[in-house]
Structure 1
Amino acid sequence: MTTRFRPAEPGEAPELEDLQSRSASHWGYPAGYFDWAGDARKISESYVCDNRVQVLVDDGGRRLGFYSFTENEDGLLLDRMFLDADQIGRGLGRQLWQHAVQTARELGVSEFRIAADPNAGPFYEAMGARWYGSRPTQEPTWTIQLYRFSVPGRPGG
C-alpha cells in the first residue's frame, strides 16, 4: 500500500472526528464514554483552518490517520494523533510520528509537548518522548498523560 500526507481540508472535519472516534474504540472505550469531555473531542472546520492538521491517505484517497499541532504561549502541542482502528498495528503510527517530527523541525521548534490518552503512552515513550506528568479530567478513571519530545536536529534537540 502506498501512502502520502496532505493538509486537511476544512470540509473534512466531520470525517476526521469520526476517524478519531473509531481509533479510540481500539482501546475498548464504550460508546458515549467520552461524553464527559464535551466539545474537547470535536473537530470543527475552524480547528482545521487554524491549526496544522495533516492527513495520511492511501493511494485510493482513504483517510488512514491524521495528526494536528496547536500552538499557544506554552509552545507547540501535538494535540491529536489518530489511526483508523483497522490500521493500528501496521506500522502507520510510526509514519504519522515521523511526519509530525519533521513538521515540528520545519516549524523551527526544539521541543513539542504531547497530551495523550493513557493507552497511547507506551507508543510515545517508544518514539522517544519523555513523560513529565498527568492532568486529571472530569472522569476520575481517565487522566491525560503529558510528554515532551526534543526534536532531533534542532538546538536543544
Structure 2
Amino acid sequence: MSISIDIANASEAKELTTIALESKQYWGYSSDFIEMCRDELTLKEADFVNSLILVAKNNEKYCGFVQLKLNDNAGQGELEKLFVAPSFIGQGIGKTLYERAVEHARKMNIKELVLDADPNAENFYKKMGAITMYNTPSESIPGRFIPKMKITI
C-alpha cells in the first residue's frame, strides 16, 4: 500500500469530517452520541488557517488525517484530531500520521503536545510515548470524562 501525506486544504473539509465521524462510529458509539460530537468533529475553514492539517491518502482515497495546533503558550501545541478511516484502521496509518505530526511540531519548536484522547485511543497514544496526566470533562458530552494526555518532544 502506497500512502502519501500532504498538507490538507479547506476544500477537503467535508471528506475529512466524514472520516472523523466514521472513525468515531467504529468504536461502537450510538448515533445519538455521534450527533452530540458532530460539531466538535467537524472541520471548519478556520481550522485550515489556525492549524496544520495533514491528510493521508492511498491512490487518492482518503485514509486519515491529523490536526496540529500551536498554542499561545510558548513551546506548547495541541494534537487536536487524529482519525483514520475504518477501512484503514490497523494498517499503520495512525502511527505514520502521529509521527509526521511530531516531526512538524519539532520544526515549529514545540516541546510538548497535549491532547484529549478518546478512551478507545488512549493505549495507542501510550504506545506512541504519550502519558496520561488526568481525566478532563468532554466538550461534547456532559458528565463524560476523557484522558488528557501529554507528548514530550
Q: TM-score w.r.t. structure 1 length?
A: 0.88
In the alignment, what sits opposite 1:39?
39
Q: Distance in 2 between matches of 1:69 and 1:48?
A: 10
Q: Identity over the aligned pairs, expressed in percent?
A: 27
- Residues 21 and 34, structure 2, Cα contact 8 Å, conserved in 1: no
In the alignment, what sits opposite 1:12?
12
Q: Distance in 2 between matches of 1:89 and 1:113?
A: 23
- Residues 51 and 69, structure 1, Cα contact 8 Å, conserved in 2: yes
In the alignment, what sits opposite 1:115?
116
In the alignment, what sits opposite 1:154?
none
In the alignment, what sits opposite 1:135?
136
* Alignment-mate amino acid for residue 82 of structure 2: M
- Residues 130 and 147, structure 1, Cα contact 8 Å, conserved in 2: yes
Aligned residue for 1:28, secondary structure, equals: coil
Q: Distance in 1 between matches of 2:91 and 2:43?
A: 25
Q: Distance in 2 between matches of 1:97 and 1:89?
A: 14
In the alignment, what sits opposite 2:70?
71
Query: CA 1:38/1:93 → structure 2, altered by over 3 Å: closer, same or farther?
Result: closer
In the alignment, what sits opposite 2:150?
148
Q: Extract unaligned runs of 5+ from structure 1.
A: 152-157
Q: Extract unaligned runs of 5+ from structure 2.
A: none
Query: CA 1:38/1:94 → structure 2, altered by over 3 Å: closer, same or farther?
Result: closer
* Alignment-mate amino acid for residue 85 of structure 1: P
Q: Distance in 2 between matches of 1:28 and 1:110?
A: 34
Q: 1:110, CA displacement in angstroms?
A: 1.5
Superposition CA RMSD, Å: 1.5
Please identify runs of 4+ aligned residues in structure 1 that moved more than 4 A: none
Number of residue pairs the alignment of both structures matches: 149
Q: Distance in 1 between matches of 2:101 and 2:115?
A: 11
Aligned residue for 1:113, secondary structure, equals: strand
Q: 1:49, CA displacement in angstroms?
A: 2.5
Q: 1:103, CA displacement in angstroms?
A: 1.0
Aligned residue for 2:30, secondary structure, equals: coil
1:29 is the counterpart of 2:32:
no
Aligned residue for 2:29, secondary structure, equals: coil
Q: Distance in 2 between matches of 1:38 and 1:18?
A: 10
Aligned residue for 2:60, secondary structure, equals: coil
Q: 1:34, CA displacement in angstroms?
A: 3.2
The more displaced of 124-133 and 100-109 is 100-109
